[in-house]
């Protein structure tokens, strides 16, 4: 055990109102060469939901669920919007925190999903502030698997089709970034496939499943992981599908728009019965998993050469 005296939930962040949307998105894509047209398109997605990302409510709910079991004070900070991580760490220093476990709300390897959280931790440290220790990847943890299996089972029951095809989804990333994920490369996709297999096994299923991608945002000339979920739905011969957002731990905008709106519309146009499984969210087993990670031996940080930043494209 790491002898922590606090827990920091470190997340992505999201807008809390219409006026927050563009400043938030500009924080997200800073230096990435994302076309302005794509930024405005994504802004419209947020405005369709009142300019509020559901990720904030889900993070607040997770923090509240953790407080009774964490055994230490629980804090919350974000990379891209209020409460910013640096403000939270200053508050932790004022509260006398000396060493905090950091739970990043991303389960897998990769630059955006892991390395960038290490960069966040380095950036938000303050003089005489607490030591910040990022906890390990958790896509194969029994708590995460159990939560996703329960939510997938519920989606199958809502659909009323035990034979529905399970289609696991995760955020697409540039192919070059996928190739360099992890110490030997390819770890992002490998971990996702392992998690999908574990969830399928937990459901007692022997049928094939698929892993597809969503939410790409880069320049069109840059190869990203494929197939896109909507392209997959247009081509599948499955009689019904359950989308399982294995790559996300909460129902934020990429889930409620890209899956619940766009993918659902495609399925409806095809006459394809579809349900979407919930993300891990505040499932009791997932919440307990966070506490269990705190009790594990302190993880060894990834090498600095692991998951390098993506190459920038004009």
Q: Is 171 annotated as a binding residue?
A: yes
Place of tokens 């997200």: 28
User: What is the tens place of the pLDDT at every residue in 27-50?
Assistant: 998 877 778 888 899 999 999 999
pLDDT of residue 314: 42
Apex CA 195: angle with CA 179 and CA 220, to 5°?
Answer: 40
Q: Residue 141, annotated ligand binder?
A: no
Question: Are the beta carbons of 72 and 5 closer than 8 angstroms?
Answer: yes
53 is in an annotated binding site: yes
**CA dist list (Å): 151 to 30, 244, 261, 281:** 35, 9, 19, 10
Of 296 and 303, the structure prediction assigns the larger pLDDT to: 296
Mean pLDDT throughout 258-270? 97
Report the pLDDT averaged over residues 215-241. Answer: 93
What is residue 312's predicted lDDT score, i.e. its pLDDT?
57
- pLDDT at residue 50 in the model: 96
CA–CA separation, 77 and 202 (whole Å): 33
- How many whole angstroms separate alpha carbon 117 and alpha carbon 100? 15
Residue 106 marked in a binding site? no
**Among the listed residues 60, 59, 12, the one whose alpha carbon sits nearest the alpha carbon of residue 254:** 12
Q: What is the pLDDT of residues 167-202, one digit of tens each?
A: 999 999 999 999 999 999 999 999 999 999 999 999
Q: Which pLDDT score, from 0 to 100, does residue 282 have?
A: 98
Looking at residue 155, its pLDDT comes to: 98
High-pLDDT (> 70) share of the chain, %: 98
* pLDDT of res. 302: 85
β-strand partners of 16: 52
Lowest mean pLDDT among 94-98, 101-105, 173-177, 298-302: 298-302
Query: What integer pLDDT is reported at residue 313 of this predicted model?
Result: 46
Quick one: average pLDDT of 287-309? 92
pLDDT for res 30: 83
CB 177 within 8 A of CB 146: no
Backbone angles phi, psi at 257, to 5 degrees: -95, -55
| Whether the Cβ atoms of residue 209 and residue 168 lie closer than 8 Å to each other | yes
pLDDT band at 1 (very low <50, low <70, confident <90, very high): low
């Amino acid at each position: 055990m790491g002898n922590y005296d606090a827990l920091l939930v470190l997340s992505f962040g999201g807008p809390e109102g219409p006026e927050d949307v563009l400043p938030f998105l500009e924080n997200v894509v800073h230096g990435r060469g994302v076309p302005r047209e794509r930024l405005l398109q994504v802004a419209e997605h947020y405005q369709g939901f009142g300019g509020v990302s559901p990720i904030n409510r889900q993070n607040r709910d997770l923090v509240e669920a953790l407080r009774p079991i964490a055994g230490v004070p629980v804090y919350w900070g974000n990379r891209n919007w209020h409460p910013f991580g640096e403000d939270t760490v200053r508050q932790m220093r004022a509260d006398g925190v000396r060493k905090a476990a950091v739970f990043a709300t991303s389960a897998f390897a990769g630059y955006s999903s892991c390395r960038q959280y290490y960069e966040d931790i380095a950036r938000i440290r303050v003089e005489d502030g607490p030591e910040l220790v990022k906890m390990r990847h958790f896509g194969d943890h029994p708590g995460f698997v159990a939560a996703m299996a329960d939510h997938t089972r519920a989606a199958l029951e809502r659909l009323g089709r035990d034979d529905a095809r399970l289609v696991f989804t995760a955020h697409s990333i540039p192919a070059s970034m996928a190739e360099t994920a992890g110490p030997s490369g390819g770890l992002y996709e490998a971990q996702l496939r392992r998690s999908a297999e574990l969830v399928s096994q937990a459901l007692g299923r022997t049928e094939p499943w698929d892993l597809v991608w969503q939410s790409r945002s880069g320049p069109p000339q840059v190869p990203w992981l494929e197939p896109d979920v909507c392209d997959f739905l247009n081509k599948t011969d499955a009689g019904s599908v359950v989308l399982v957002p294995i790559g996300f731990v909460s129902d934020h905008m990429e889930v409620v728009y890209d899956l619940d709106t766009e993918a659902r519309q495609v399925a409806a146009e095809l006459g394809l019965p579809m349900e979407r499984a919930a993300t891990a969210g505040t499932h009791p087993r997932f919440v307990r998993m966070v506490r269990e990670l705190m009790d594990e031996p302190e993880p060894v940080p990834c090498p600095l050469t692991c998951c390098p930043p993506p190459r920038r494209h004009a």
